[in-house]
């Protein structure tokens, strides 16, 4: 043996021994961990695992039923090595997503996400340097202090919504879409749709509706069998691929229109201050930092594609609940009249602290019908053990918001719409002010202050101005309101007929005056 080989042996052999010992220790440790069971869940089938067990309709309640069936608030299912952990209780969600946030900050790489062209969605980005850059800028744009800058836009568009309701109350669904899309488009691009028939409204609506459903773990077999994304859409049975390609095409159009409009308005000297118009005005439409442009566009696109869908959801739920709960409507209006004076003025953001019952209506609305009843899944970055259960690295960990907000242990009679549950025995608002629909941990919705402002002003303004109830038939009898809704994506009420009337002539005049 040469001196060199001899000296190398003193280095290589001990190193190999250390590697072998550590590998054996890791293997033994892993085997020890795997002696622990997965959380309860449906029994896997041969070859397919639980691929056929994932619900595709009424998904949030179906996962909640799993808790009753398997007597556990944390559940597990898998297919072809992909693990899904469903969390149905607030305590477990806080334990995992917040107290162990460093393990649960990531997002899974959803196979269908790339097919539908949603790589731009900041909420879906994997945890890392690129996401952190987006998060930092998003925080600067939308944190609670920065949210105040958007209040004039929100006020302007809520007043436009009131005027539309006054003139064409039967088209409340269209007015809802107009409001819900206009606010994020104005914030991001300074773009106000010309009318409810503007192509961007239909595109944004359809894109979000299709995309959110496809993202569900059982929304398409592509999420369970990733290789299916390579199957051509013309192959019989490739329904998910056809929908995904349609969604991708709509997504590209949805991205193109507002950016081109922002640049066109700047060239004409007609641009309104907004995230993208301010950026292009600062640098010009050429010679700007491409990375910053990419981040700002991603944030702006995410804001209007996500915010529009959730606002449409919450506004639709609000109108349904007010039409079917006249006693809640009357109590809120009594409070508003006491603070505002009937027909004297419209509510503004400074009134929020003086309207506790209206605040309770807001909380209860988002409790009973969370706009996204299933939160976007988190991805586990390392093996974890929770309450004696083994949670494998790479698992998709899904917070079932609907199950948490309908937990009888926290909210007795959870299906009943009852704003009074948010008051203590002294008649004051209680401490239960957290809106679970905004998510958990470092993945909490960064725009929650803006979203909260929009919904609160909409609720207060509508109730101050209108009374909503059942429509009447030709003989003057009330028509039963259709209570059907879809939770496979965002919570969406199916179209229903109702009566929307201004509360007085003075209020009608007040609404008309907002045009000035």
CA-to-CA distance for 33 and 338, rounded, in angstroms? Answer: 62
Q: Do 148 and 348 touch, CB atoms closer than 8 A?
A: no
pLDDT of res. 21: 43
pLDDT of res. 285: 66
pLDDT of res. 217: 65
> In the chain, what are the domain boundaries?
34-513
Query: How many CA atoms lie within 13 Å of 330's alpha carbon, on the beta-carbon side?
Result: 5
pLDDT of res. 357: 98
pTM of the predicted protein model: 0.87
Q: Is 465 annotated as a binding residue?
A: no
pLDDT of res. 353: 96
pLDDT of res. 25: 39
CATH of span 34-513: 1.10.630.10
Q: Would you say how long the chain is, in residues?
A: 516
Mean pLDDT, 10 residues at a time, the chain of 516 residues = 36 37 40 76 90 88 96 94 94 97 90 81 91 95 92 97 96 92 94 85 78 72 71 72 84 89 91 94 81 94 84 94 97 98 94 98 97 92 96 95 97 97 95 94 92 97 97 87 78 86 96 90
Contacts 24+ apart (CB under 8 A), 45-50: 48/79, 48/80, 49/77, 49/78, 49/79, 49/80, 50/77, 50/78, 50/79, 50/84
């Amino acid at each position: 043996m040469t001196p060199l080989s001899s000296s190398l042996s003193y280095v290589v052999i001990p190193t190999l021994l250390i590697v072998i010992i550590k590998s054996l220790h890791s293997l033994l440790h892993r085997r020890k961990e795997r002696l622990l069971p997965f959380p309860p869940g449906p029994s896997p089938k041969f070859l397919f695992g639980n691929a056929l067990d994932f619900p595709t309709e009424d998904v949030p309640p179906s996962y909640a039923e799993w808790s009753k069936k398997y007597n556990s608030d944390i559940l597990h299912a898998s297919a072809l090595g992909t693990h899904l952990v469903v969390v149905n209780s607030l305590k477990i969600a806080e334990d995992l997503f917040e107290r162990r946030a460093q393990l649960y900050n990531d997002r899974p790489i959803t196979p269908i996400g790339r097919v539908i062209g949603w790589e731009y969605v900041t909420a879906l980005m994997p945890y890392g340097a690129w996401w952190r850059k987006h998060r930092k800028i998003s925080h600067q744009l939308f944190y609670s202090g920065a949210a105040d800058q958007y209040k004039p836009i929100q006020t302007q568009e809520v007043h436009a919504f009131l005027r539309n309701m006054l003139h064409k109350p039967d088209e409340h669904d269209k007015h809802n879409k107009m409001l819900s899309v206009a606010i994020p488009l104005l914030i991001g691009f300074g773009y106000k749709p010309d009318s409810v028939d503007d192509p961007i409204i239909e595109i944004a609506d359809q894109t979000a509706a299709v995309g959110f459903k496809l993202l569900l773990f059982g929304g398409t077999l592509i999420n369970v069998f990733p290789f299916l994304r390579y199957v051509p859409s013309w192959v019989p049975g490739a329904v998910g691929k056809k929908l995904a390609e349609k969604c991708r095409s709509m997504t590209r159009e949805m991205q193109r229109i507002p950016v081109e409009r922002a640049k066109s308005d700047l060239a004409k000297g007609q641009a309104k201050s907004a995230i993208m118009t301010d950026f292009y005005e600062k640098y010009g439409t050429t010679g700007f930092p491409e990375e910053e442009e990419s981040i700002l566009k991603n944030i702006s696109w995410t804001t209007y594609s996500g915010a529009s869908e959730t606002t449409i959801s919450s506004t639709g739920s609000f109108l349904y609940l007010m039409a079917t709960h006249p006693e809640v409507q009357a109590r809120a209006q009594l409070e508003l009249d006491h603070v505002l004076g009937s027909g004297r003025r419209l509510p503004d953001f400074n009134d929020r602290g003086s309207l506790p019952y209206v605040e309770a209506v807001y909380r209860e609305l988002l409790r009973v019908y969370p706009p996204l009843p299933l939160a976007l899944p988190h991805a586990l970055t390392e093996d974890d053990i929770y309450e004696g259960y083994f949670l494998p690295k790479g698992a998709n960990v899904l917070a079932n918001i609907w199950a948490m907000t309908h937990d009888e242990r926290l909210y007795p009679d959870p299906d009943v719409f009852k704003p009074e549950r948010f008051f203590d025995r002294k008649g004051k608002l209680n401490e239960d002010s957290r809106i679970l629909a905004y998510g958990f941990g470092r993945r909490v919705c960064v725009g929650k202050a803006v979203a909260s402002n929009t919904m609160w002003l909409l609720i207060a303004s509508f109730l101050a101005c209108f009374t909503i109830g059942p429509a009447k038939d030709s003989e003057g009898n009330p028509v039963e309101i259709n209570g059907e809704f879809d939770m496979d994506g965002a919570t969406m009420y199916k179209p229903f007929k109702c009566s929307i009337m201004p509360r007085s002539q003075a209020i009608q005049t007040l609404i008309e005056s907002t045009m000035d």
